[in-house]
Structure 1
């Protein structure tokens, strides 16, 4: 079974889909998107950690995406 989830904060959004890892367990693909008049921004990355429970993979994926947004909006990182 594949679980997906999304979260929004203002003009930013995070969506996550899980997949089975080759070595067993689950990993997530994380999509971060920002919509603005200056142009849309989108970033997709894969979770490196493997989780035994699919629910944990999707929750950690949302957490990673929201952390990425916080770092981007505070200009801690620039991509």
Structure 2
């Protein structure tokens, strides 16, 4: 079974899906989207860690995605 999670507001969203890797491990794939007057920002990446449960993988992916959104909205990063 694959778990997914989503957090969103009007101008941004974070979506996470898990996939099984190795024996008993899970890795989240993270999709972030942020809309602004300067254009839409979309980015998909895999979390660097492997987690023992899908729940841990989803929560870690959502945290990582929210960090990206926070940095992007604060104009700390530009991709």
Normalising by structure 1, we get a TM-score of 0.89
For structure 1, the residue ranges without an aligned partner over 5 or more in a row are none
Q: Write out per-residue CA displacement over residues 18-76 of structure 1, whole angstroms, 9 at most, x where no aligned residue.
A: 00013540000000012345432210000110000110000010000001111111121
Paired residues of 2:34 and 2:69 also in contact (CA < 8 A): no
Q: Secondary structure at the match of 1:48?
A: coil
Q: How do 1:1-79 and structure 2 match up within 5 A?
A: 1-22=1-22, 24-79=24-79
For structure 2, the residue ranges without an aligned partner over 5 or more in a row are none
Normalising by structure 2, we get a TM-score of 0.89
Q: How many positions carry a matched residue from both structures?
A: 79
Which structure shows the bigger proportion of residues in strand conformation? 2
Paired residues of 2:25 and 2:52 also in contact (CA < 8 A): yes
Distance in 1 between residues matched to 2:10 and 2:37, nearest whole Å: 14
Distance in 1 between residues matched to 2:56 and 2:23, nearest whole Å: 17
